[in-house]
């Protein structure tokens, strides 16, 4: 059985869900962000136990197809933004996401906006800004390198978008004692 899980946003989430499923007596056949295939199929009581165990850990089981699709969109955005160099992406992220999910872009955009209350593009920008914050905190890359890695056309574009989302310039953020990153599942 394939279970769809909300708020799986990183490799540690995968590890935790895998361990939790094994603790509950299920064999994990396949696992990725937002999805886990288990055996044997759980009965209704076991599904409730899984949902309860996940809830304590900040995860949720998703049973509606549209909610599953929204979660897949989020997971694709997170994969692209946080685990790849966006300067190597030759198409728009939305084009790539629609292609990966084998769905029409207009449909995905409308579904995401109706469900989440913001556009996919806005969600992508929020994810990119959180990644920029992370890179700024690490201090291993300068703003030029971060701008290139994140697929921005220029430092000015990155700085303007950063300030629009956070209210401060990247340089001010980097020198601030109150660094305020947000958890990916809270975006």
pLDDT tens, position by position, for the chain (187 residues)?
999 999 998 889 999 999 999 999 999 999 998 899 999 999 989 999 999 999 999 999 988 888 889 999 999 999 889 888 787 776 788 888 999 999 999 999 999 999 999 999 999 999 999 999 999 988 899 999 999 999 999 999 999 999 999 999 998 988 886 667 766 666 6
User: Is 37 strand, coil or helix?
Assistant: strand
Helix (H) or strand (E) holding 29: strand 27-32
- pTM, two decimals, is 0.74
pLDDT of residue 44: 87
- CATH code for the domain defined by 76-187: 1.10.10.60
**How is the chain split into domains, by residue range?**
2-63, 76-187
Q: How far is CA 84 from the centre of its chain?
A: 13
CATH of domain 2-63: 3.30.70.100
């Amino acid at each position: 059985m394939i279970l769809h899980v909300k708020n799986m946003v990183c490799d540690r989430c995968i590890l935790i869900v895998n361990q939790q499923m094994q603790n509950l007596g299920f064999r994990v056949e396949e696992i990725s962000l937002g999805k886990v295939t288990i055996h044997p199929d759980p009965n209704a009581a076991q599904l409730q136990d899984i949902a309860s165990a996940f809830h304590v850990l900040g995860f949720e089981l998703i049973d509606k197809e549209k909610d599953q699709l929204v979660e897949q969109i989020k997971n694709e955005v997170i994969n692209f933004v946080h685990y790849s160099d966006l300067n190597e992406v030759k198409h728009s992220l939305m084009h790539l996401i629609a292609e990966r999910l084998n769905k029409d872009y207009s449909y995905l955009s409308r579904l995401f906006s109706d469900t989440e209350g913001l556009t996919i593009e806005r969600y992508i920008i929020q994810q990119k800004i959180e990644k920029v914050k992370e890179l700024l905190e690490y201090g291993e890359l300068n703003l030029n390198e971060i701008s290139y890695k994140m697929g921005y056309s220029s430092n000015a574009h990155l700085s303007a978008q950063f300030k629009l989302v956070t209210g401060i310039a990247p340089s001010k953020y980097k020198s601030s004692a109150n660094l305020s990153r947000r958890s990916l599942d809270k975006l």
